[in-house]
Chain A
Amino acid sequence: MRTMIRSLSALSMIAGASLVACGGGDSSSSSTTSVTPTGSNVLSVVVDSGPSSNSFNTLYTTVTICVPGSTTECQTIDNVQVDTMSYGLRILGSVLTLALPVAHATDGNSLAECTTFADGFSWGPVASADIQLSGESASAVPIQVIGASNFAAVPAACSATGPTEEDTVATFGANGILGIGVFEQDCGSGCASNANSGFYYSCTATACAQIAVPLTSQVLNPVPLFATDNNGTLIDLPSVASPGAATLTGSLIFGIDTQTNNASGTQTVLTVDPNSGDFTIVFGGQTLTDSFIDSGSNGIFFNDSNLTQCSSSDYSGFYCPAASQSFSATLTGVNAVSATESFTVDNAQTVATNDPTFTVLTGLAGTFTSDLETFDWGLPFYYGRRVATAIELHSTAVGTGPYIAF
């Protein structure tokens, strides 16, 4: 049960780092049939139990990276999480077998990054790699190697963001993360103009100091770097019967309105804040201005003091209503376009224990502090939908990013 909770709470928990497993993700079968998109811009994605068979609602894919310019020094890495609320590719050093060149800061020293998440931080050098995702490729892309061995120790200012260092596969919860959200860089202009942003460091073998980093040297979302199909992505997942399924396979489609398989159609387009990527969700009388839809969150997180929380510490932070409850919430973009969407909250403990094979939980929901004004609509939002993420400054047939559409 210990691993069960940590899987639920922390996206996924992988026991024991292993050297890279090459050649694709786990085989899986979806619970429903649907037309599977095909094409050189389609990457297969899967919700499954992950590398150590204990993840929930975690979307994985497989990426191929190469030493820049090489067609032979390449590595295929599976169990890379697909995340629409971060930007750039990050690989755990423990699974990386390639010798990638470390990027240089403007002072000539090695460039490193302190990547913060709400629940912890990840530290490691920026390296250069060619990235291959299905038929799309980008050359010499700055990526982060998290927890690289033989690199300068975590700076005090990085660990001071607390609380937890996530520099191993076990603590990070995946072999890597593919950040394909609405922004081109993981930090942006703040890090280009300001040394003390808290993101980037110039490192010698033993010491690191914060430094400003030009936009093009920051860790970059690879999608806008593709030659084509570079204005955004679609995540296309089949529907799942409540309360869940063992696994689910779907597609990550590159480009929006660039091919016959990625047309916007009649999607609802919600533009998002050009600095934060957030928009407003009104739920239960609360107007939550810092809300987001996030393929990297494993549940639906919001505040409802009337909903029963799980009593078992194994499910701490999740909701456990006696009977499933239905809700609706209104999503409003910066462009004032609104959509009202419904969702169901199931008893997390009951569903997870009744069918231990489930890794897809349609009604998994948990708390989010009310005063932080956030509704975090995680992976369950994507089940049975095509969700578009349009990148800042890039246009599609229905608008200009940053926007999300569904």
Chain B
Amino acid sequence: MARPVQRPKLSLLERSYLPAIFGGLLITIRHFKDMLFGKTRVTMEYPEHTWNDDLPDWYRGAPTLVKDEHGRERCVACQLCEFICPPRAITIKPGELSKDSKWAKVEKFPEKFEIDMARCIYCGLCQEVCPEQAIFLRKDYSITGETRESLVHDKKKLYELGGVMTGLVHKWDEKK
């Protein structure tokens, strides 16, 4: 049902808009003055001041590969992340671990692991899908480069960004 709205009856002065205009001018000049004398400070000027130290633990930055405290690379080249990646940013070339390796029973390792950061959408699905706790989104967010090629993170770069992660499940360790 339509509800009739009672329009307020404006006086002649109000209908000339002049008091409203004057009031508006006062508001804007107050903001101008406060800003001019440094009373208002709402902008954080980016390169000088950042949130870097206060980023939450669940922050989704660039995806990286991690090693554990044994120095083992955790990725077993199952390629689940490659398949789930919505923009298809991940490319993995699996390789076979040699028989005399300490971790020979893991059998596979990524010979090549590349993440194209020009395609990555930082969704975190790779981290969620990983059964090995090998890929994590860390806190690097300023990924820049001068060519498209330089934005493709190879294995070396990914481990460099990822570093060592402790407190993970060690399912490949020998049973005690």
Bind each other: no
